[in-house]
Structure 1
């Protein structure tokens, strides 16, 4: 019993119960106003109906008095008093002696009220301890010779009003209890969901990043909240996994070049040739340092992209013409490496993005295609395309190299991942990672597809664009190619 009371007290202290109780109180207040208004209107209707009947009877009595005098009036009152109805009458002479009627006396409530009113009376034929009836009566002005009181029994109306009052109170009581029980049930349900979220959060705090908040399978607000939180947890787990992977790869991709840099400097110092050896050693040191600086610049750029959107640096431009300009910068390098670099760019593909970052992504993909494709073989061509796919601007770079196996494509987009086991080719494994970061920044995605043979990298961007009318000129992104830091 104590545990049950504790659970009820805990549920009653929740915000959900407070909101439910407030909603029930507001509903009861609104219902009270509506029912009170209806009761008031009903009472007015019944009162006006009774007063209308009394006024009509008073006119009849006045007509009888005018037509036949007091005898005729007395006969009419006696006849109406014998009827089994709700009419009440009292006719007396100028001295107060009763002449006719079914009331024994003038009600005390009407003695001092010349306009009539409500009174209690004991119906004839009922026992003395019977319930007194409620009635209303008005005096009828017929001259100084007689005094006439005309009334109606309104006990039925009072019983009706009492039944409405009882039903009103009973209904309010039931609604109040049902509302409180419903509030407790709702708060308990929400409390159970909150307890599940709290338990999951505690497990995650303790280090279990694989835990997720359970959902009921519906489409309610709590399920939407749980879904958003689970997506956030997936993102956090991915970032933590990427951080661990980066840490593991840094040991190989950065520690080894730094050790080689140190060994090269030490070897130069020990070289007996003197100044000539020192100069060669410094030149090699500068070259290796530049490679390390490019690696760190790429890491900083990726971190900057993943930190959030750069709304202040976006602009609207023609993606096709821009990609064509970037590709033209790489044609000499491709021809020197033995590749045929072709461009298929649709004009008028509107995109709103950061021009430099899009150029960086295109340059990285072209440089990767040149680096990892096989030159001199039949079909050794690299194709760069800019087009619109399902209403979204896109660009792609396809080659006829070894490609990437389907099971390795998702991993290839992560930082420091190099699928070449020997790592004899120069590079840091940050090129595709930077392209993926650029795509995420622009609310897009990167797809690695089979080019039959080779690899085709497709970058889909957001379809939002402020205008479809683009300026005629697009600046050449030479600064992008010169600033390539992801290879």
Structure 2
């Protein structure tokens, strides 16, 4: 992680944007609080001075002089000095010994400074000229209020500065954390690009935007890894299931070329070759159909499908084959199965059920039982048999193309039946489950209500 890249991160920029917004709001709030507080304190001081000036102005000259002479005893600290002055500003009475020029010139309360033994002391005063030409002045020591105002201003400036510093630190921390996560994701992507398909993007705890995105990407990588393995499996299957028949065709034709001497022998060789090639074409057609279904090309023809009728047609089709192998093929269902409909393609659903029944007929021994069930309550179609079943370790793999649960591959088939069922189920938003029927196998196709 390079700090020079930090300002370019989205998290850092967003943090700075919110910091600027929050800082501006805080500054306006601090200014409003300061203005209201200082304004309230100064209005209170001015109202006090106005009351004092009005009180002294309404007294008779003799009473006013008497009050001003007694005022120093009531104000020993000279916190609120008052006094009367001649028209030329000469002190006459009171504990305010000097009439500042600011008071004579202003017609409202103003600040002024009086000298003292130490530093000059700030006061706020108000003066008016009496009818006899004398000046009456009242004042108040505002050293503590002004100190409080300065303290309040410093506190707000300090709070603003701390807010700015902590905000910047938070922006840097957020940007650095985002960069670390992006760097980790970038490294994981590079490893994946270099061939480590088992690698996954790191996901931290929580459900923020980046975690949701990485989870989706990891799901895509899971599908990609599965597809790559399927491609490898397809290649292996092609090597065995397609090359072997072609080898037999070539061998048969070569033998016929060398040994056949009659038209009948050539016809037999051609018939066997035709049969092998037809099986190959059937396999290729199945692969093409699976690819077409995976692309979702058949969704445009969806409509409401009566599942009971589809299952009845499939069972009728395979009933003779089951009887020929001495198997019992039975269709059952819960109450009112005729009311069950599914939004889908009737021919594809027919093919899916046909493949399940065909698989069961292939592997269930003579005397066995196959049940096709339509479950209205759980919205599921199931095909259950009492054959050898599928081991738990193989139940996921049998859905892959060309995978066969029979290593010897002696049973007819190309390993695409359950793959086609899985693709059709996915196209119809159905879930396929392979479970143990104890004994035998149960394959279920279930769906959710629309």
CA distance in 2, matches of 1:288, 1:426: 12
Matched-pair contact (CA < 8 Å) for 1:81–1:87:
no
Matched-pair contact (CA < 8 Å) for 2:85–2:99:
no
Which residue does the alignment assign to 2:282? 294
Which residue does the alignment assign to 1:413? 399
Task: Report SS of the residue matched to 2:50.
Answer: helix
Task: Report SS of the residue matched to 2:119.
Answer: coil
Matched-pair contact (CA < 8 Å) for 1:446–1:460:
yes
Alignment of 1:108-257 (within 5 A): 108-113=101-106, 115-122=107-114, 126-127=116-117, 130-140=118-128, 142-217=130-205, 220-257=208-245
Q: Which of the numbers 235, 240, 262 marks the counterpart of 1:273?
A: 262
The runs of 5 or more residues in structure 2 that have no matched partner are none
CA distance in 2, matches of 1:312, 1:56: 90
Alpha-carbon distance, 1:272 to partner: 3.5
Alignment of 1:351-430 (within 5 A): 351-375=342-366, 377=367, 380-388=368-376, 391=378, 393-430=379-416
Q: CA 1:402–1:36 in structure 2 vs 1: closer, same or farther (change >3 Å)?
A: same
- TM-score, length-normalised on structure 1? 0.82
Asked if residue 464 in structure 1 is aligned to residue 432 in structure 2, the reply is no
Q: CA 1:415–1:96 in structure 2 vs 1: closer, same or farther (change >3 Å)?
A: same
Which residue does the alignment assign to 1:38? 33
Alpha-carbon distance, 1:105 to partner: 3.3
Matched-pair contact (CA < 8 Å) for 2:78–2:95:
no
Any idea what the Cα deviations from partners look like across 1:432-485, whole Å, max 9, x if unmatched? 111122223334332222223222111222x131xxxxxxxxxxxxxxxxxxxx
CA distance in 2, matches of 1:102, 1:323: 114
Task: Report SS of the residue matched to 2:381.
Answer: strand
Q: Which moved more, 1:14-23 or 1:429-438?
A: 14-23
Q: Which moved more, 1:442-451 or 1:138-147?
A: 138-147
- Give aligned pairs, total: 444
Any idea what the Cα deviations from partners look like across 1:61-84, whole Å, max 9, x if unmatched? 2331xxxx2121122233335513
Q: CA 1:81–1:116 in structure 2 vs 1: closer, same or farther (change >3 Å)?
A: farther
Runs of 4+ in structure 1 deviating by more than 6 angstroms, as ranges, are none
Matched-pair contact (CA < 8 Å) for 1:242–1:414:
yes
Alpha-carbon distance, 1:343 to partner: 0.9
Task: Report SS of the residue matched to 2:401.
Answer: coil
- TM-score, length-normalised on structure 2? 0.88
The runs of 5 or more residues in structure 1 that have no matched partner are 1-5, 466-487
CA distance in 1, matches of 2:112, 2:144: 13
Alpha-carbon distance, 1:219 to partner: 5.1
Any idea what the Cα deviations from partners look like across 1:258-315, whole Å, max 9, x if unmatched? 33334455566664434x6666655555443332222122212222333458653433
Alignment of 1:15-94 (within 5 A): 15-64=10-59, 69-82=60-73, 83=75, 84=77, 86-94=79-87
Any idea what the Cα deviations from partners look like across 1:379-402, whole Å, max 9, x if unmatched? x2211011156x5x2111112222
